[in-house]
């Protein structure tokens, strides 16, 4: 029987695996246990959107359709660029984005206006609200692809202190956010839900280092199980097609 094929796309500064830890912590084995085939491309960690989208296109060139993309953060923007401009629409059945900055992030402006070394990253300049406005004008959603999105937010007091300054900068302009991306920016296509999580909890990374205050734990695994069940049902409804569009 045809196994639905899932592609996990990491965000800026991400990696498929570092030592024993995968970017999407414990997600790949769970998806495989649910009967899915999982592909995890390696994208240039600091590259701009076009560079990362080109890398994605090259790595998936020989993969037959249909592909279901699950993308965290900037990975969702790379996927949209590949789908719209590099022929990805011929392979992709669905794109589910997890806190991707579809309308940019005020955190990018905050960093670019400061003295951080992150200012030197080509990826960051492409994720400002102004840059993403231009990107969106030239990158429409493809009608043959299903676009789904999840946003995320925690109150500032529940955001890890090491990234809270970014959340504060976003809140001043865009309101509710997960410390990196606002809820408003993360919505694209069918917005499924807003997760009570920070940007890093979505991939199973806990940066909460405050021993004096507790916050409710976010379990990321049910999120990926939910997405997987949607993909499985999608493929059943589509008759398990395995040929390019």
pLDDT tens digits for range 29-81: 999 999 999 999 999 989 999 999 999 999 999 999 999 999 999 999 999 99
pTM above 0.85, yes or no: yes
pLDDT tens digits for range 103-156: 999 999 999 988 777 777 889 999 999 999 999 999 999 999 999 999 999 999
Question: Which long-range contacts (C-beta less than 8 Å, at least 24 apart) are formed by 114-121?
Answer: 121/12, 121/46
- Which residues touch 151 (CB under 8 Å, ≥6 apart)? 99, 178, 181, 182, 183, 184, 185, 186, 187, 191, 193, 194, 195
pLDDT tens digits for range 165-207: 999 999 999 999 999 999 999 999 999 999 999 999 999 999 9
For residue 1, CA distances in Å to 27, 31, 66, 68 come to 22, 16, 14, 17
User: Looking at the domain 5-237, which fold is it?
Assistant: Rossmann fold (3.40.50)
The residues with which 146 forms a beta bridge, in sequence order, are: 94
Supply angle C-alpha 99, 206, 151, rounded to 5: 15
The CB-side HSE value for 108 (13 A sphere, CA atoms) comes to 24
- Which residues touch 140 (CB under 8 Å, ≥6 apart)? 84
Mark 196-232 as b/e (b = at least 16 C-beta within 10 Å).
ebbbbbbbbeeebeeeeeebeebebeebbeebbebbb
């Amino acid at each position: 029987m045809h196994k639905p094929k899932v592609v996990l796309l990491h965000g800026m500064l991400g990696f498929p695996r570092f030592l024993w830890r995968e970017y999407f912590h414990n997600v790949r084995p769970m998806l495989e246990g649910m009967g899915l085939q999982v592909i995890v491309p390696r994208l240039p960690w600091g590259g701009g959107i076009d560079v990362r989208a080109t890398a994605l296109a090259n790595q998936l060139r020989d993969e037959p359709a249909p592909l279901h993309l699950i993308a965290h953060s900037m990975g969702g923007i790379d996927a949209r660029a590949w789908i719209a401009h590099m022929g990805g629409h011929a392979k992709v059945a669905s794109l589910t984005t997890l806190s991707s900055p579809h309308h940019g992030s005020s955190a990018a402006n905050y960093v670019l206006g400061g003295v951080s070394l992150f200012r030197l990253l080509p990826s960051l300049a492409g994720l400002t609200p102004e840059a993403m406005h231009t990107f969106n004008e030239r990158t429409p959603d493809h009608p043959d692809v299903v676009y789904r999105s999840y946003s995320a937010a925690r109150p500032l007091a529940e955001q890890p202190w090491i990234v809270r300054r970014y959340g504060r900068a976003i809140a001043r302009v865009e309101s509710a956010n997960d410390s990196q991306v606002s809820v408003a920016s993360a919505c694209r296509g069918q917005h499924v839900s807003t997760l009570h999580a920070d940007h890093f909890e979505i991939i199973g990374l806990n940066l909460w280092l405050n021993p004096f205050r507790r916050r409710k734990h976010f379990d990321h695994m049910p999120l990926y199980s939910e997405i997987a069940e949607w993909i499985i049902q999608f493929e059943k409804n589509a008759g398990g097609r395995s040929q390019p569009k």
